[in-house]
């Protein structure tokens, strides 16, 4: 299952490479970088795999959707927003509305972001940081569910309620029902497993 979850980003790779090739990438990361589609404010990505009793989520979002900015937090107010967002992201049962009856227990929760003090993925091979500020927040969540048959729908409404600057989620779902993809919005936040 982990291989399936890890393979999902590679399914999007040919599109990203083709789109990036259309742009003359000369390290001017202004509007050019924002147009690459991998980082669009208001849009997050969610990969979900349900296999047997294992349920995994990979959540990626521009920091703007989560905390309202992408720069390093320096003010007390910004630091408080980062701390609060981290606490909310560390409660995946609530974030993903997992039904209690499925009895899913988190076995792994990992968050990463330059805002949390992690190395910026935009640093080059020499460790030099580029001028732009396009921070993202990444969350990986793994569960074991005692009653996975209870999981008929995936309700993402709490992501939209918790982080209202998130307007749309691009979801890739692998489950016993097959593989599917959808764009989910707050007005219609539920998918079938």
Q: What tens digit of pLDDT does each residue of 11-36 get?
A: 443 333 333 333 333 333 333 333 33
Q: What are phi and psi of 101, to 5 degrees?
A: -65, -20
For residue 153, the SS3 value is strand
What pTM was computed for the model?
0.75
Whole-number Å distance between alpha carbons of 79 and 101: 36
Better-scored residue on pLDDT, 52 or 39: 52
DSSP track, 106-117: EEEEEEE-GGGT
Beta strands in the chain (DSSP E): 43-51, 54-62, 104-112, 136-145, 153-155, 168-175, 178-185, 190-192
How many angstroms separate the Cα of 69 from the Cα of each of 29, 75, 138, 141?
17, 12, 15, 24
């Amino acid at each position: 299952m982990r291989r399936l979850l890890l393979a999902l980003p590679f399914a999007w790779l040919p599109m990203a490479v083709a789109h990036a090739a259309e742009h003359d990438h000369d390290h001017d990361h202004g509007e050019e970088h924002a147009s690459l589609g991998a980082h669009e404010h208001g849009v997050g990505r969610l990969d979900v795999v349900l296999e047997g009793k294992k349920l995994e989520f990979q959540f990626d979002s521009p920091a703007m959707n989560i905390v309202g900015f992408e720069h390093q937090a320096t003010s007390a107010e910004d630091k408080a927003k980062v701390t609060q967002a981290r606490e909310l992201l560390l409660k995946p049962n609530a974030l993903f509305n997992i039904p209690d009856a499925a009895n899913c227990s988190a076995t792994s929760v990992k968050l990463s972001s330059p805002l949390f003090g992690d190395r910026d993925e935009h640093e080059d091979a020499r460790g030099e940081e580029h001028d732009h500020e396009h921070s993202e927040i990444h969350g990986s969540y793994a569960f074991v569910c005692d009653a996975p048959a209870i999981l008929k729908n995936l309700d993402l409404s709490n992501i939209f309620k918790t982080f209202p600057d998130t307007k749309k989620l691009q979801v890739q779902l692998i489950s016993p029902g097959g593989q599917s993809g959808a764009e989910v919005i707050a007005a219609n936040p539920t998918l079938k497993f």
